[in-house]
Amino acid sequence: MIKKIYAFGTSHSCGGGFEFNTFNSSPNPDIYKKIINSENHFDFSYPSILSKLTNIEVDNRAKQGYGYERVTRQIFDVVNDDLFDKDTSLFLIEISDWDRQEFWFNRINDYVIVNSHPMEMQDANNISIANDYHYQSYEVGNEIKNNKELFDRFIQYTSNIDNLIEKLQINFLFLVNFLENQKIKYLLTNGDVVLPINSENLTNHRDNILKYNLHDFTDNKTKIVTNWVDKVFDFKITISDESSQQVKDNHQGYSVSEYIAKTIFNKMVDLNYISMSKIDCNFLHSWKSIKNKINPLM
């Protein structure tokens, strides 16, 4: 039986879009307090919703803006923790894309993440760097600003799309083989990485990919997806869509996170990770219920 859940990933796994009192210009998503009376973005994330459903403690290590390098690093931290028990733990891993590179930065004694748009990489204006996109201190922000040129130039000298993709693929292949070698239970919450040809026999991860039935409001059809992060904008199921533009944010709406948590819950029942009965898991039910709560007059 699972007694602890660890979550790894990006903003999509840590309640991105539900940041309160952030230094950037986003207004507080106060209407969502009708759902959860909290100003902690983690409370709006699917791992937290899952924690409530299962009554299992969740250690959520996802962070806004960061990518697979942090995921890998955090996994190593967890398995090296004295309290980690692989037999009773489950890893939820959100696979992200290749356009995020992290660097240790001695001046702040912590990591920074560099997000860039590879097609426009020659232009430093398209490279954003942060230690924390929402809550970093003024001093940290200043250190990053003073050294931005160093990172800009490094990215411009070294960032090649094919090479970055290859790095992501190698990391993924090695990581899932590590998890299998160590017999660590894991589920991939947002699909996997597009792997090179000839790699079919190099992992056993495919059974660990979660599948979701999400609704695409552009053609009003329910579709099976694995990578929902890339779909929520197209399907019109973002926070903006869910809140009828009261909160402008392109992360998934709370109902998507609720549905994802329920899907994971039912998968955990199937895998005998918890001895509970399956629950109703229908995206449109969640969507309508949340919409009604936050848009009562619409």
Partner 1 sequence: MIKKIYTFGTSFTQGGGFEFDVMPPKYKKIYEIFDDEEQSQENFSYPGQLKKLLPNVEVFNLAKSGYGNERMYRKAIDLVLSDSFNSDDTLFLLEFSYLGRKEFYSKKLKDFIVVNYNNVENKSILNGYARTYRQSQYLSDKDISKLPSNDFFEKFVEKTFDENIQVDLMHFNNLKFLSFLNERNINYLFTQKPMMFPTRVNLDNYHIETHEIKTFRNSSFLSELDETSIDYETEGIYSDTHFGLSGSKYVASKIFDELIDRKKIKGNKLNQKLSDFSYIKKKIKLNSGNIL
To the nearest whole angstrom, how small is the minimum distance from the Cβ of residue 83 to partner 1? 10
Q: CB-wise, 34 or 107, nearer to partner 1? A: 107
Interface with partner 1 by CB under 8 A: which residues?
72-73, 76, 79-82, 84, 103-107, 147, 150, 153-154, 156-160, 163, 166, 170-171, 173-175, 177-178, 180-182, 196-199, 201-202
Pick the closer one to partner 1 by CB: 201 or 272: 201
282, 214 in Cβ contact below 8 A?
Answer: no
Least Å distance, CB 34 to partner 1, is: 43
Please, what is the Cα angle at 54 between 53 and 58, to 5 degrees?
100
In the complex, least distance from residue 129 CB atom to partner 1, rounded to whole angstroms: 12
For the bound state, the minimum distance from the C-beta of residue 188 to partner 1, rounded and expressed in Å, comes to: 16
* Smaller CB separation from partner 1, 159 or 286: 159
Which is nearer to partner 1, 4 or 236 (by Cβ)?
4
Q: Which of 181, 275 has the CB closer to partner 1?
A: 181
Smallest gap from Cβ 170 to partner 1, in A, equals 5
